[in-house]
Structure 1
Amino acid sequence: MLKGILAISGHAGLFKMVSNAKNALIVESLIDKKRMAAYASSKISSLEDIAIFTEEGDVQLAEVFKNIKEKEKGEKAISHKASGNELKAYMSEVLPNYDEDRVYVSDMKKVFQWYNILQENNLLDLEESKEEKKEEE
């Protein structure tokens, strides 16, 4: 589901990897569809590698997105511009055991903003990730 979707520090939104160049990745913004080069000097994170801290361990971002999708019945999540208290309450609903000491409001803003970007671009196909897991086993 999240394969090839990247977050790049210093750039708003999410990017889809399009191609490899000699010293960079060619990425396309999911917001405005513009392409750019992302160099190794940028901090690039793949969404499939990101996890959220919980009291019991880490939960993959895909699992959090699945919980949000179920809660919202496939519609948009809370706005990332909502108040800190609203974001914390919402996070408690979608991931009740999240680690309140290590998951900051700024992290929650990113999670909800990313979810809404993926939802707008129809990139939240959770069935695909289940099939990928079966193939790995």
Structure 2
Amino acid sequence: MNLRGIVAVSGRPGLFKLVGQNKGGYVLEGLDAQKVKIVANITTTKLASLEDITVYGEDDDLKLVNIMANITAAKGSVPDAKADAKALRTFFEEVAPGHDQEKVYTSDMKKIITWYHLLKDLPLFSEEAPSEVVDQEAIKGEEKVEKKPKATPKPSNAKAPAKTAQPAKKASMTSKKGV
């Protein structure tokens, strides 16, 4: 699953694709049907990459990427984000086993399910993340490279000449006394 470049913007509903950056801010394109392009100010807007989001776990934090993969693989149907809290909790226990039930609120579950419904039709679920793809030729190329010993830095036992302190210039004050 490839969620690289997909961000959530603080204060705005929905998800956005990071298109670029200019001096005024980030250029974002909405993932909804309208494809609205906005420029989010660098200094005031907070962006959260879906690739980096985690959910509180009892032992370790759970990555959102793994939860999304579990939702995709879920045998039952995914509930609507407007479903009651009990249905969301039972579904979330199934797709995110080991999440901390005290720290993960129903609003968080609704947000994740809403994001899933926005992303499910995009080809992101069939793509692999760029960091997971390994180029076999690059690995073979690394094996052919001879390891050269690193150049050892020269010891810096010689001290740099110390600067001599120069006396501070005295301010010359000229005063004229009136007669």
Q: TM (normalized to structure 2)?
A: 0.68
Residues 1:34 and 2:52 are matched in the alignment: no
Question: In 2, Cα distance between the equivalents of 1:43 and 1:65?
Answer: 22
Question: In 1, Cα distance between the equivalents of 2:58 and 2:71?
Answer: 19
Q: Alignment identity in percent?
A: 36
The structure with more radius of gyration: 2
What RMSD over aligned residues (CA atoms) do the two structures have, in Å?
A: 1.9
If each structure's strand is expressed as a fraction of its own residues, which one has the higher value? 1
Alignment of 1:1-137 (within 5 A): 1-31=2-32, 32-40=34-42, 41-72=44-75, 77-125=78-126, 127-129=127-129, 132-133=131-132, 135=134
Alpha-carbon offset, residue 48 of structure 1:
0.6
> Structure 1 stretches (4+) deviating beyond 6 angstroms?
none
Contact kept? 1:30, 1:121, Cα under 8 Å: no
Note the alpha carbon deviations across 1:62-82, whole angstroms, 9 max, x for none: 000010011158xx7321111
Q: Which runs of 5+ in 2 are unaligned?
A: 135-179
| Greater relative contact order (CA < 8 Å, ≥ 6 in sequence) | 1
- The count of aligned residue pairs is 132
Q: TM (normalized to structure 1)?
A: 0.88
Q: For residue 61 of structure 2, what is the amino acid of its counterpart?
A: D
Question: In 2, Cα distance between the equivalents of 1:23 and 1:72?
Answer: 45
If each structure's helix is expressed as a fraction of its own residues, which one has the higher value? 1
Q: Which runs of 5+ in 1 are unaligned?
A: none
